[in-house]
Structure 1
């Protein structure tokens, strides 16, 4: 039996802990990215969970921690990775798209090898209103840079940054139409 929707507030948060879920097809670099996130020295605990796709199984739901942040990974050279992300977002509560998730597009610097267009990924992210990070995992520096960006968003999502909420970050990210009615 599987859960249909992953919800952001169905469990209590753990004190001084952030839990990140990395979702992506096999071979997209989830484990390399997880190692990069874990290697960053922070004054709080970081838990990383990985999933090939959503929904998550209900077998270990009781022992699973609250997921503070979801990172969907698309390898632009792998069409299957985009299909996995498209299917997986359907099993996520829409509240995750209010500053509690992001999309990562990998291998952007390889236009000749792309199986997924940047425009498609960008439109998909705009549809869900979630930010997109462009990166690579080929070098340690690229891995750490991307990991730091994800961890900074996850800290806010988990409430570990004073006076800043995911909704505040999300609202400052989007332009507002100021037409008079």
Structure 2
């Protein structure tokens, strides 16, 4: 019975984070060379009635090391470089 409860706790752990009201957290994923930082800065410069948090990543899945400190993600944006056929 204890093993079953531990399995269930592992499945539900990502759902334990409570969303913050009036806050949107966005993850922007893109390889080196994509304008992730410029895109994030332009989003942060827009006027909105809510707080915007933006995280940047080069690839998915995200490392498990900081999973307990990472906020719940509301949106994931993938930036692709369409000029390079090798990527």
Q: Please give the range of the TM-score, normalised by the shorter of the 2 chains.
A: 0.7 to 0.9
Residue aligning to 2:51: 45
Cα distance in 2 for residues equivalent to 1:17 and 1:27: 28
Aligned partners of 1:12 and 1:23: how far apart in 2? 23
**C-alpha RMSD of matched pairs (Å):** 1.2
Please state if 1:62 is matched with 2:68: yes
Residue among 25, 28, 36 paired with 2:34: 28
Within 5 Å, give how 1:2-13 maps onto structure 2: 10=15, 11-13=17-19
Equivalence map 1:39-118=2 (5 Å): 39-78=45-84, 79-80=86-87
Aligned residues: 72
Q: Can you give the 5+ residue segments of structure 1 that lack an aligned partner in the other structure?
A: 1-8, 81-181
The runs of at least 4 aligned residues of structure 1 exceeding 6 Å deviation read none
List alignment gaps of at least 5 residues for structure 2: 1-13
Q: Deviations over 1:92-144 (max 9, x none)?
A: xxxxxxxxxxxxxxxxxxxxxxxxxxxxxxxxxxxxxxxxxxxxxxxxxxxxx
TM-score (norm 2): 0.77
Return the TM-score normalized by structure 1.
0.38
